[in-house]
Amino acid sequence: MSKMKKIISIIGARPQFIKMVMVKKELRKYEKFTELLLHTGQHYDKNMSDVFFQDLEIDSPNFFFRLGSGNHGRQTGLMLKNIEKILVQEMPDFVLIYGDTNSTLAGALAAAKLHIPIGHVESGLRSFDMKMPEEINRKISDHLSTLLFCPSKNSVNNAKNEGISSDKLFLVGDIMYDAVLFFSEKVLKKNTVLSALKLDNKNYILATIHRAENTDDPVRLKKLMLNLEKLSKKYTLVLPLHPRTRDAMKRYGIIFTSLSTLKLIEPVGYLTMSMLEKNAAIIITDSGGVQKEAYFHGVPCITIRDTTEWPELIDEGWNCLCSSLEFDLLLYKVERMVQKTGERPQLYGNGNAAVQIVKHLYNFIIT
Ligand code: UD1
Ligand code: UDP
């Protein structure tokens, strides 16, 4: 009988906990796989990390680094050094990386240099904006990976266009769709957030802002937040604030004055967030994951960016870009998008991405 195959999943930031959990559930079904979790500690606050392990019922990671935050070079470098140490110690048969954060990049670099095959979940996405740290992380991670698990047809084409061989590319659908379907019943039970925040179903805007391009420039962040505050005078607005944005606002002295209509809250757990998303009239965000979740829940979305890695959502009319700081333009888009209804084709598979990912892993590692 062949020996157990060891897989190390490398995670570190909020969206990765959600993506990893679905693959973990599927890996558990195979006796021949044993999976170890390595958490880089990129996100470390209770409501950015622990809450997901509790909410989604995942055991604590096998390895957890308390590296803290920092500039890209320092953060990625420290992760690389620490991940390499664990990989040398454990010598896994395979490494899984997720998404496009610095934890993804450090995981890819560490594994590739040790000649450990890599599977990249959420491959091939491109914004074609190299100013985004995520675009750099995606490109390098894709080119270092052995198996590229792509969520959409566009992502497969992007990878092909960069010369990545077709036999490495697997169109498996979006892992976050698996999560939305899997947790939908649990989400329905978690309905206290609407009453706690005094929100009426389909009568509020949910907003999240955390991207560097929106938070690092004080003038831009100030205007953006002012626009959200102005919008909240027309529609109640809920803003679970990412710590990056909270810190930037503090640093630049940006404060809200209408906290009765603008409901400023701490980051919430996944189930609470899903409840807020599902019942919103419209979502305003610069998050990658939230754009897709809006679509899965049938909620129109405005993306506060120039580009998106999810262009299918724009083509279908469920998402639109708005990086302008003109309040009137934002308001116009809100009033137009809020009326969006109609078909939602299955752009991202049918919710069995994890099944397919693990099947491909099995074919690669075991057979
Ligand atoms: C990272 C990812 C981004 C992803 C986001 C998900 C990179 C380059 N960026 O951005 O792609 O969309 O995670 O949320 O990897 N902070 C805390 N507590 C925490 C975590 C962060 O206070 O638990 C604060 C610190 O001030 C830190 C800042 O947030 O400097 C930024 O954190 P960092 O992980 O570097 O980047 P994110 O903006 O979270
Ligand atoms: N999310 C959450 N609580 C929040 C904000 C977001 O659970 O307060 C979830 C959201 O539902 C999605 C993921 O975090 O599943 C998206 O993460 P984020 O926006 O931080 O990063 P991105 O997707 O842009 O990389």
Please state the three-class secondary structure of the chain as a single string: CCCCEEEEEEECCHHHHHHHHHHHHHHCCCCCEEEEEEECCCCCCHHHHHHHHHHCCCCCCCEECCCCCCCHHHHHHHHHHHHHHHHHHHCCCEEEEECCCHHHHHHHHHHHHCCCCEEEECCCCCCCCCCCHHHHHHHHHHHHCCEEEECCHHHHHHHHHCCCCHHHEEECCCHHHHHHHHHHHHHHHCCHHHHHCCCCCCCEEEEECCCHHHHCCHHHHHHHHHHHHHHHCCCEEEEECCHHHHHHHHHHCCCCCCCCCEEEECCCCHHHHHHHHHCCCEEEECCHHHHHHHHHCCCCEEECCCCCCCHHHHHCCCEEECCCCCHHHHHHHHHHHCCCCCCCCCCCCCCCHHHHHHHHHHHHHCC
The answer to whether residue 297 is domain-embedded is yes
The CATH number assigned to the domain holding 143 equals: 3.40.50.2000
The answer to whether 275 and 194 have CB atoms below 8 angstroms apart is yes
Residues in the chain with pLDDT values less than 70: 1-2
The answer to whether residue 359 is domain-embedded is yes
Q: Are residues 103 and 129 in the same domain?
A: yes
pLDDT of amino acid 191: 76
Q: Are residues 67 and 164 in the same domain?
A: yes
User: How many CA atoms lie within 13 Å of 133's alpha carbon, on the beta-carbon side?
Assistant: 15
pLDDT of amino acid 111: 98
Token pair 């929106």: residue: 214
Structure tokens at 96: 């899984």
Structural domain count, the chain: 2
237/230 Cα distance (integer angstroms): 10
pLDDT of amino acid 259: 82
Instruction: Return the axis-axis angle of helices 175-189 and 14-27, rounded to nearest 10°.
Output: 100
Ligand 1 pocket mutation, candidates 11, 18, 42, 250, criterion most atoms within 8 A of CB: 42
Q: Are residues 127 and 232 in the same domain?
A: no
Q: Diameter of the chain by CA atoms?
A: 67
Q: What pTM did the predictor assign?
A: 0.98
Q: Is 242 a catalytic residue?
A: no
Q: Are residues 78 and 156 in the same domain?
A: yes
Does residue 210's CB lie within 6 angstroms of at least one atom of ligand 1?
yes
Cα 270 to averaged position of ligand 2 atoms, centre (Å):
8
The answer to whether residue 22 is domain-embedded is yes
Of the residues 120, 210, 242, 297, only one is catalytic, namely 210
Q: Are residues 72 and 161 in the same domain?
A: yes
Residue 89 neighbours by CB under 8 Å, 6+ apart: none
The closest alpha carbon to 139, from 104, 181, 167, 165, belongs to: 104
pLDDT of amino acid 189: 82
Q: Are residues 286 and 138 in the same domain?
A: no
Cα 7 to averaged position of ligand 1 atoms, centre (Å):
26
The answer to whether 333 and 301 have CB atoms below 8 angstroms apart is no
Owning domain of residue 318: 185-337
pLDDT of amino acid 3: 84
Please report, in angstroms and rounded to a whole number, the separation of the first and last CA atoms in the chain.
13
Q: Are residues 170 and 300 in the same domain?
A: no
pLDDT of amino acid 2: 62
pLDDT of amino acid 367: 82
What residues flank ligand 2, with Cβ below 6 Å?
Answer: 14-15, 18, 208, 210, 240, 267-270, 273, 287-290, 293
Q: Are residues 167 and 245 in the same domain?
A: no
Q: Side chain identity at 7, as an amino acid letter? A: I
User: How many CA atoms lie within 13 Å of 245's alpha carbon, on the beta-carbon side?
Assistant: 24
The answer to whether residue 90 is domain-embedded is yes
Ligand nearest to the Cα of 297, by number = 2
The answer to whether residue 292 is domain-embedded is yes
Q: Are residues 267 and 320 in the same domain?
A: yes
CB neighbour burial string for 48-61, b if at least 16 within 10 angstroms, e if fewer = bbebbbebbebeeb
Give the closest residue (by CA) to ligand 2 atom 9: 270
Atom of ligand 2 nearest to the CA of 274: 11
The answer to whether residue 342 is domain-embedded is no
